Amino acid sequence: MKWSVVFTSTKFPEPDRAAMVATIAEEAGFSTLWSPEHVVVPTEYDSSYGFSEDGKLHSGDKDYPDPLIWLAYVAAVTKRIRLGTGILILPQHNPVVLSKRTATLDKMSDGRFVLGVGVGWFKEEFDAVGVEFSNRGKRTDESIEAMRAIWGNDVASYSGAHYSFAPLKSYPKPKRGYVPVHIGGDSVVAARRAGRLGDGFFPAMWPTERVKRELPELLSVMRASAAEAGRDADAIEVTSGGANTAEEAKWYADQGVHQLTVPVHARDESGIREELMRFGDDVIRPSEGL
């Protein structure tokens, strides 16, 4: 079992604190830093956020860094830990431009970048950036296909219903010839998309009682979708939340989860170091064999 840290950029948006948490997490043995995305937070909206009691996203007055820029910054002060978007709202981005940005970050970080993507839920945010909301799922699928064409070929072209481009060249290329794409979302549709297209599946971080009730079914859907697409479901890296100890991690390992996420609670350097290093000793290393 691997362990990773979520909400890193929003909890540590300042340069010194970003570098601090990244280097300590790497030293403690964490696998990945995950950085979320919202371009803007409209002040009036009807869309409902599923992880607060009132359905509101309470982060409009807080720093919400661009995840790719934040991850590029901490890439320069780390050497081993992976750098993931958790998640980037893919249909809000042009895939040709995004393929360049992500390939560059992957190359500059020596192949440590993971592109976690989701379709988004915040219609008013889509409205603000001038992007259609209703067809976001189909555009997500096409974006993944288009970026993979650019990453993996010296000359790439693509023709879809929403994106198309004539033969072109784009460099640099990712270190491995591709950027791993992890599909975020806790819906059946997301699970199917992960099986069909994903290098990974990243359901949202849930309360423990919900994840134990719903995760097995989502993973079953993901595996069935992979089989239908002629893909190896075991090669799809699964990331989940809901555990904080090596003993709790055993249930997730039995479900086929490869990586678990935790947030950082401490706020000052000494507290962060103590919290993460203790977690490495008490949880990460004892669960390595799961």
Kind and range of the H or E element at 3? strand 2-5
Rounded to the nearest 5 percent, the helix, strand and coil shares of the chain are 45, 15, 40
Residue 49 in domain? yes
User: Does 106 share its domain with 229?
Assistant: no
Question: Which residues, at least 6 apart from 151, have a Cβ–Cβ distance to it below 8 Å?
Answer: 99, 103, 173, 174, 177, 178, 179
Q: How many helices (H) and strands (E) does the chain have?
A: 10, 11
| Residue 290, in any domain of the structure | no
Please give the Cα distance from 70 to 128 (Å, whole number).
22
- Read off the pLDDT of residues 249-263 as tens digits, 9 standing for 90 and up: 999 999 999 999 999
Residues 70 and 125 reside in one and the same domain: yes
**CATH number for the domain harbouring residue 22:** 3.20.20.30
At 4 the three-state DSSP class reads: strand
Based on the fold, state whether residues 189 and 280 are members of the same structural domain: no
Q: Token pair of 223, please? A: 């595996």
14 and 114 in one domain?
Answer: yes
The predicted pLDDT at position 60 comes to 66
Residue 157 lies in a domain: yes
75 and 191 co-located in one domain: no
- Pair (236, 254) in one structural domain: no
107 with 174: CB under 8 angstroms?
yes
In a domain, 289, yes or no: no
Cα–Cα distance measured from residue 12 to residue 85, given in angstroms and rounded to the nearest whole number:
15
Residue 257 shares a structural domain with residue 209: no
Q: Tell me, yes or no, whether 12 and 123 share the same domain.
A: yes
Q: How many CB atoms lie within 10 A of CB 268?
A: 10
Residues 69 and 208 in one domain: no
The amino acid at residue 258 is H
- Which residues partner with 82 through β-bridges? 32
Per-residue confidence of the chain (290 residues) as pLDDT tens digits?
999 999 999 999 999 999 999 999 999 999 999 999 999 999 999 998 877 778 888 776 789 999 999 999 999 999 999 999 999 999 999 999 999 999 999 999 999 999 999 999 999 999 999 999 999 999 999 999 999 999 999 999 999 999 999 999 999 999 999 999 999 999 999 999 999 999 999 997 777 788 999 999 999 999 999 999 999 999 999 999 999 999 999 999 999 999 999 999 999 999 999 999 999 999 999 999 99
Please state the length of the chain: 290
Strand partners, 4: 32, 261
Omega before residue 69 within 30° of 0, cis? no
Instruction: Give the per-residue pLDDT at 157.
Output: 98
Strand pairing category for 164-168 and 156-159: antiparallel
Joined together, the tokens standing for residue 227 give 């089989």
- The domain tally of the chain equals 2
158 plus 212 within the same structural domain: no
Tell me whether residue 221 is in a domain: yes
Say if residue 162 is in the same domain as residue 88: yes
Q: 180 preceded by cis ω (within 30°)? A: no
Q: 176 and 102, same structural domain? A: yes
Domain interval for residue 209: 182-241
- Hey, what are 231's tokens? 């893909």
In a domain, 152, yes or no: yes
Cα 90 to its chain centre, rounded Å, is 11
Report yes or no: 151 and 103 within 8 Å, Cβ to Cβ: yes
Determine, yes or no, domain membership for 160. yes
The rounded radius of gyration (Å) of the Cα atoms in the chain is 18
